[in-house]
Amino acid sequence: METGPCFQPTQTAAKGGPCNAIDLLYWRNVKQSGAVFSSVLLLLFSLTQFSVVSVGAYLALAALSATISFRIYKSVLQAVQKTDEGHPFKAYLEMEIALSQDQISKYADKILLYSNTCMKELRRLFLVQDLVDSLKFAVLMWLLTYVGALFNGLTLLILAVVSMFTMPVVYEKHQAQIDQYVGLIRTQVNSVVGKIQAKIPGAKRKEE
């Protein structure tokens, strides 16, 4: 299967468009990726020390302090230089930010699709439509109980963010070696699952 244009190494953030998220994760623009990465980590670490309400209030105060200070500075500068440049944020105030009916419908349709898919999959797993898949899900939930005992949700989110900004770059540089090890692990897992399937009555998948 051919790789999409968003995953090509030559893609740059300067081109814009829907590949911006990929560019950030692959550090195509070091300054932009660094700014986003550090900002998200700072926010998450702040949430480990303060409540969501406090962090939100402090962020709002910081933003207001910056905008009010800049507005006062520009007003004083215009008064001293006797210019009539107008409101410094005029372009942003006139920018259209409302969601259209089409956009709302599109996002609502996507949410509805994902919700229905998720509910159908959970029903299939909990009602044991396929014994092997339900056993895999049970093992995953069992492992998550140990993960939850070691980390809270916020810590896992921080680890996820760090992984998102490091693993793509590592994989890009060492793709051949990683694919080789993943292939070996996948072969071993499939072999073990096959042996378990053969020994558990009713666990063998029906042929399509």
Query: Does 202 score more than 70 pLDDT?
Result: no
Return the pLDDT at 190. Answer: 81
Element (H, E) at 121: helix 101-126
Query: Does 6 score more than 80 pLDDT?
Result: no
**Cβ atoms < 10 Å from Cβ of 112:** 10
Residue ranges with strand state E in the chain: none
CA 125 to CA 17: how far, in whole Å? 38
**Cβ atoms < 10 Å from Cβ of 24:** 20
Q: What is the mean pLDDT of residues 89-115?
A: 88
pTM of this structure: 0.60
Long-range contacts of residues 155-161, Cβ cutoff 8 Å, at least 24 apart = 155/48, 157/44, 158/41, 158/44, 158/45, 158/48, 161/37, 161/40, 161/41, 161/44
pLDDT per position as a tens digit, 38-88: 999 988 988 888 888 998 999 999 999 999 999 999 888 888 888 877 888
Return the pLDDT at 205. Answer: 53
Return the pLDDT at 108. Answer: 92
Of the ranges 97-106, 107-116, 150-159, 178-187, which is most confident? 107-116
Please state the domain extents for the chain. 31-82+107-191
